[in-house]
Structure 1
């Protein structure tokens, strides 16, 4: 089975981490986020994954080379100009001549989820759907487009950001799709195209079978520092099943530490992830913090609610405040 990963976003809200790497390659649980995503897709039966990125494919070269270790063949396709969420996927599947009857799994390169991808594909096949949308439930629909389905899950309509309590449905698009090759037939043009605003509403209007599948799988957009930290907490707490990096070892107290890191016995860690080759000094406190590889935290320093990029140095006695996102190699005093 083939997967297409939408990975063209610039990740501006995660700067400065995304100043030096694409958002899907920002470390998550000790390895680039895309590593965990691709491992999960491989477990669901995906053998080939194509990342649709911006104008520059070079930053993704390490991911292509890592493909065999992750269990999938990885390719990268660029777009010289932005093509919205569906334009590049339409072009790719047409140029590759995707065979009808062989569904394609589409997912976002910045959404943390433990969705049952294989189960979603099975539902798609059983319904004979042209498109299937993974759905998640939300308490407040006013910030989302709601997907309204009938009793058997067939999508009837889309309602944009309804006020709470004005609509019985509470299911929203969770950013993972299964497509039949003919899904793009009603959209023959080339250029920008949106799944949310054009493809799915257009298919429903044309009478095609578009299936909505709701689940209780974990779902979180990792596009802000707050959500990035929340995603780590969800994995540490067991609320989201996610493959940790090789060598990242769980410890007591919602903590994961790479086996190459050095942590002084007097250090206190709570809801913290410590990457490879980090050095944590005496009487350090790490609370709700993510440390990428090669970070050094000096004696008595406190780090709370922060993300420290690779090679960051925290001075002895320093106080790193909540909301801090430290760039690669930064020195914090």
Structure 2
């Protein structure tokens, strides 16, 4: 045999296989307990093809870590990683000087027992420049069809033909034998595809191209159905590839170290990997595949199902036609039905049921008694709940799909015990519009009325809920720094974010399908509101005490925002007060130094105030004419100082992690201080309690409405006749530090427990996390609800003490994280 090289194409994401391929490249998906790409390597080695290039793109480290240099597989592997997608031919040419002789291209995510030697002999015998390996397919509609003449010479290509175009049933398998000179037809780095670009070009140039029709097995595992079929074919011994286990009975393969009860029933064909435990009364098969280290509880039954490594099933479970990825854990009496996939690390508690066709993404927890009828997609491997610190966030069409948004709308409409209106607002982002419309459909299906507030900022949506006396609402917006990210904030009847208890109710409804549905005659038309901005601006003027004075002074304001709508509303509001406004939209995607430019602009000193309205219209960043940017805690202190100096009667409300300067203010002005948990929802709802009065509503405005809040601050500056820098200089001094420490999700509880034991803190701690007092000040160590991090908050008697304490608590947490469990 002529010595040739090989290229394994292993860059596939396997999108259609998700959640099997969440965090796993498609070539690493296991077939009978080993990656499908391993079969390709073994096949090449069997035919003495040992010099192999591997083209990588998606999660390349997973493949490199497993296969290494190829020595343990008796081959030499050379890896080529493409940073940007180059197409099939482009990625192969990326191998560069490796392509110096005849070579075969084979997919790393298809299974075949093709006789490579015969195919190569055919290629050499025809003196072909290109040979495509073909196979006959009864229904070729989903494949590229290749038409050959009686001598095997290719005369035409058809990409995914309709039935009217099916002039042949020979399809392209994606296995090619090539001479290196064919790559002279395009440049390295070009995005080029074999079937769409190179082969039609070579055909046009009359370059000798032939088709070798194989009579062996071939299947691409690109979809769940074909993935399952491939394994079942191997178990039925219709594929001439070895199975790495001992055949203890006809059609029953069991690897070493596995313990099987003599009261278990095994029905062939089936495969069991290493070190598994099969308990009394278990029934396995037919077509059951268990990876290594699986444990099957008593009286559980499995048919036509695949379990990856480390799966644990409790007693009396029923698995039918499903795939369970690595480290999935099922408690007792769990039922999983046909064509379901349960993602890696997910946990299903007692008596839960997963209906047919449902997909569960990795690291999910399904609570006891839950009946899942729709995909549980939300989140990533580290995310434990649908709701984060503020509503729901995720990538459009990945985490937050239209289907998911419709379900959310249906659940939100079902939360309310009475009929009424639900306000739906959002920004101009295309993704926001898509999700908003899907959410509206879900709300309508419950019989609730929808008021659609078009192209709004978050404070306008909050205002609309009160203005229209609605039950609640949502606001959908894009992320100014992550173009594919979407967030949904859920609001109650006061316009504040919903409480944790309502969030939990929504999460339960999502899992249990306990939603209400209305009849068709109960569906209400959507009320579309286009002129809300006018009413919002007019309402905001009511909170300006010195409107006449502002019009007389005509103060100049330098206003910025990454949101055109926020800038438009802010500008119109300030001009309506009598201000002169210079406004500018900055591009948060492309310009990372925008804040430095704004601060430099503020130095010019021609404005009473320079302000940035964040894209949601809620957060306000202020800069004085020395270029000093007001930090979050300083801004909060500024709010208290303004309201107290105005003589407002109020309670000072802040999270428990806020500096103790607030307590000093409370004593000076003889007003109560209320500490809350750290979530924005808790703070908002405390400010909006019915008995809090105007002072606390103004506190809410200054914290959660950048437009109205900016007006109140300007009103105060004009009324007092002071400059903003002087107001900042007069604020009480405090010394405060914040820091974030990355961690694993599973370490959070251990760290908190260690800290509480070490500091002799009982479980009577009234808030969250661990608070530690020190003679130099205090610190709070708080695990984040949304991300795998610890938040460190520290206040010291001096700036030096604050930094020392923050460093001390940081080192303390890092030390515990490094300890062995």
TM-score by length of 1: 0.92
Rounded to whole Å, the distance in 1 between the matches of 2:230 and 2:315 is 28
Distance apart, 1:59 and its partner CA:
2.1
Structure 2 counterparts to residues 103-252 of structure 1, below 5 A: 103-164=102-163, 167-188=166-187, 190-245=189-244, 251=252
Residues 246, 181 of structure 1: alpha-carbon distance in 2 compared, 3 angstrom cutoff? farther
Residues 310, 44 of structure 1: alpha-carbon distance in 2 compared, 3 angstrom cutoff? same
Structure 2 counterparts to residues 272-287 of structure 1, below 5 A: 272-287=288-303
Rounded to whole Å, the distance in 1 between the matches of 2:91 and 2:247 is 35
C-alpha contact 2:13 2:58 (8 A) present in aligned 1: no
Q: Does 1:31 align with 2:64?
A: no
Rounded to whole Å, the distance in 2 between the matches of 1:248 and 1:326 is 29
Given candidates 40, 56, 64, the residue that maps to 1:61 is 64
Distance apart, 1:160 and its partner CA:
3.3
Q: Does 1:310 align with 2:313?
A: no
For 2:454, the equivalent position in structure 1 comes to none
Given candidates 83, 87, 104, the residue that maps to 2:86 is 83
For 2:314, the equivalent position in structure 1 comes to 298
Q: Which has the higher strand share?
A: 1
Rounded to whole Å, the distance in 2 between the matches of 1:79 and 1:160 is 25
3-state SS, counterpart of residue 157 of structure 2: strand
Q: Does 1:14 align with 2:35?
A: no
Q: Which has the higher helix share?
A: 2
3-state SS, counterpart of residue 212 of structure 1: strand
1:17-44 CA distance string (max 9 Å, x none)? 3222211112221112211221111112
Residues 224, 97 of structure 1: alpha-carbon distance in 2 compared, 3 angstrom cutoff? closer
For 1:264, the equivalent position in structure 2 comes to 279
Rounded to whole Å, the distance in 1 between the matches of 2:244 and 2:72 is 12
Rounded to whole Å, the distance in 2 between the matches of 1:166 and 1:17 is 34
Rounded to whole Å, the distance in 2 between the matches of 1:49 and 1:267 is 44
Distance apart, 1:9 and its partner CA:
1.6
3-state SS, counterpart of residue 133 of structure 2: strand
**Which segments of structure 1 move beyond 6 Å, counting only runs of 4 or more?**
none
Distance apart, 1:260 and its partner CA:
1.8
For 2:533, the equivalent position in structure 1 comes to none
Structure 2: runs of 5+ lacking an equivalent: 253-266, 350-821
Structure 1: runs of 5+ lacking an equivalent: none
- Identify which of structures 1 and 2 has the higher relative contact order when contacts are C-alpha pairs closer than 8 Å and 6+ apart: 1
Rounded to whole Å, the distance in 2 between the matches of 1:6 and 1:110 is 8
C-alpha contact 2:106 2:175 (8 A) present in aligned 1: yes
C-alpha contact 1:222 1:231 (8 A) present in aligned 2: yes
Rounded to whole Å, the distance in 1 between the matches of 2:69 and 2:283 is 34
Rounded to whole Å, the distance in 2 between the matches of 1:206 and 1:44 is 32
Rounded to whole Å, the distance in 1 between the matches of 2:337 and 2:69 is 35
Distance apart, 1:151 and its partner CA:
0.9
For 1:320, the equivalent position in structure 2 comes to 336
C-alpha contact 1:141 1:163 (8 A) present in aligned 2: no
Q: CA RMSD for the aligned pairs?
A: 2.0
Larger Rg over CA atoms: 2
Residues 31, 162 of structure 1: alpha-carbon distance in 2 compared, 3 angstrom cutoff? closer
Distance apart, 1:167 and its partner CA:
4.5
Rounded to whole Å, the distance in 2 between the matches of 1:293 and 1:152 is 48
- Residue range with higher mean Cα deviation, 186-195 or 174-183: 186-195
- Residue range with higher mean Cα deviation, 322-331 or 62-71: 62-71
